[in-house]
């Protein structure tokens, strides 16, 4: 059973090993990366000047921003030069042939339907 916070965003077959893909889930732009048999989710917006990381280069677990070359580890979102700068990370899972991303709802009242 998938918890309510996990949202289906694409078919598992649409993201092959060693590939990355940008998706929009609940209004957030998220980069999904399939590497080492796992799926990682990080913000698709570079904290330097906001370029989309989807057009960058993936090498192992490191994605390089296409604009000015900043590199991030998709396992934890850390900028490799300075881990004080991070991309937001999202837990992902595969279930029933689909990829799910966990979107935590920061709005407490929405859980109450308010």
Chain residues binding ligand FES by CB under 6 A are 46, 48-49, 51, 65, 67-70
User: DSSP letter string over the chain?
Assistant: ---TTEEEEEEGGGS-TT-EEEEEETTEEEEEEEETTEEEEEESB-TTT--BGGGSEEETTEEE-TTT--EEETTT-EETTEEEEE--EE-EEEETTEEEEE-----HHHHTT-
Q: How far is the CB of 21 from ligand FES (least distance, A)?
A: 18
Q: Which is nearer to ligand FES, 65 or 92 (CB)?
A: 65
Q: How far is the CB of 48 from ligand FES (least distance, A)?
A: 3
Measured between alpha carbons, how far is 35 from 91 in angstroms, rounded to an integer?
A: 14
Q: How far is the CB of 85 from ligand FES (least distance, A)?
A: 11
Q: How far is the CB of 81 from ligand FES (least distance, A)?
A: 11
Q: Which is nearer to ligand FES, 9 or 58 (CB)?
A: 58
Q: Which is nearer to ligand FES, 11 or 48 (CB)?
A: 48
Q: Which is nearer to ligand FES, 8 or 64 (CB)?
A: 64
């Amino acid at each position: 059973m998938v918890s309510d916070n996990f949202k289906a965003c694409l078919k598992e077959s649409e993201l092959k090993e060693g590939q990355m893909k940008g998706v929009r889930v609940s209004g957030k732009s998220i980069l999904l990366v399939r590497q080492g048999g796992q799926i990682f989710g990080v913000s698709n917006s570079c904290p330097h000047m906001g370029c989309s990381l989807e057009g960058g280069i993936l090498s192992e677990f490191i994605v390089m921003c296409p604009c000015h070359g900043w590199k991030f580890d998709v396992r934890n979102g850390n900028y490799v030069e300075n881990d004080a700068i991070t991309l937001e990370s999202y837990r992902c899972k595969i279930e029933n042939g689909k990829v799910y991303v966990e979107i935590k709802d920061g709005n407490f009242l929405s859980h109450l339907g308010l």
